[in-house]
Amino acid sequence: MRLAWVVAVSLSCGLFACHDPDCLGDPALHPFYVQGRDQAAADNQASFERGRQLGLALTGPDGERDGAAEGYQAGYDNGYHGLRGYGAGFAAGGGDGTADGITDPGACASGASDGELAGRSDGFADGSDAARGDGYDVGYAAGFADGDATCSAAPTTIARTTALAAADDGAPDPEDVQACYARGVREVADATAQSRGLAAGKLANAPYQARYQASYAAAYARGTPDGITDGQADGYDDGYDAGYASGYAVNYDACYQGAYAGAYDDGYRSGLDVGYATGYDDGYAAGYDDGDDCTG
């Protein structure tokens, strides 16, 4: 395998911008692309066979152990995510949380405070933006006049030249060769080959399967009620949090909006004066720079 080659290409393309060579259409690059695919296919087959041999080598006690672990987890997951698990707990918690959130006495006070701050800030920004343009225009005219009064030099020009050079000896770029080989590997490589082989080996292993199936069923039955219990508890907590937030938002949002409108108007009026002054200063500076350029 040429793993170091593939890793090097992947890292370099991750750190720097890589162009996309024509691995399929360029006759000089296509063979390397095919080599990458063939190498990955061979590696996949070897990994699968290693996994299959491991599965065939397992014993009856191995099957009993795996069946107990996997059966319990499957039963637990089914109970946790089933109708009597997380979903039931979430629904119960949501109802309790909503009732508590909607009666929280701090919701309105927080909403009004936040609404006033946001409204004043947004209003100030909008008022400032609205007046800045007028201030800029007036300032620019004044600055240009003052700058133009300083002119005494004739305009100048600067000439600029550029030169380009390119060389191509006709051989494929080594980086393109590596990139095409790596592309071929990536398109065929199967990270699950060994695990698929292991599963196939286990399935064909009769002693393993006999003990596995019996152990799985008993463990599944034990895992299901545990999953239901934990699912209900986690669901209730998550449902309560979501319900509380929803109930809290009812009064918070109403008080937020009520405070926002008046604060926005106050902020807008304050922003007008500041925006005009800022615009005037910016316009004056730009106008002065253009006026004393003396190239017109």
pLDDT (tens digit, 9 = 90+) per residue, 158-211?
A: 333 333 333 455 688 999 999 999 999 999 999 999 999 999 999 999 999 999
pTM for this one? Answer: 0.61
Q: Write down the pLDDT at residue 291.
A: 82
Q: How many CA atoms, within 13 angstroms, populate the side-chain half-sphere of residue 62?
A: 14
How far apart CA 77 and CA 226 sit, in angstroms, is 9
Q: Say how many Å lie between the first and final Cα of the chain, rounded.
A: 69
Burial class (CB in 10 A: 0-12, 13-18, 19+), 3: exposed
Q: Measured between alpha carbons, how far is 190 from 65 in angstroms, rounded to an integer?
A: 28
Please count the helices (runs of H) and the strands (runs of E) in the chain. 8, 0
Mean pLDDT along residues 62-82: 97
Sign, CA torsion 174/175/176/181:
positive
Question: What is the average pLDDT across 269-285?
Answer: 91
Unique residue bearing structure tokens 């799985």: 216
Banded pLDDT at 296 (limits 50, 70, 90) = low
Average pLDDT in the 79-98 region?
96
Say what the pLDDT of residue 150 is. 86
* Residue 16 reports pLDDT greater than 80: no
The pLDDT, as a whole number, for residue 294 is 74
Residue pLDDT, tens place only, 27-64: 999 999 999 999 999 999 999 999 999 999 999 999 99
Q: What is the pLDDT of residues 116-135, one digit of tens each?
A: 999 999 999 999 999 999 98
In angstroms, the Cα distances linking 183 to 28, 117, 139 are 15, 55, 60
**Percent with pLDDT over 70 in the chain:** 86
Measured from the Cβ of residue 39, the count of other Cβ atoms closer than 10 Å reads 20
Q: Provide the 8-state DSSP code for 173.
A: P
Report which secondary-structure segment, H or E, holds 115. Answer: helix 106-148
- pLDDT score of 1: 43
pLDDT tens digits for 248-268? 999 999 999 999 999 999 999
Residue 227: its pLDDT value, please? 98
Q: Tell me: the pLDDT tens digits for 202-235? A: 999 999 999 999 999 999 999 999 999 999 999 9
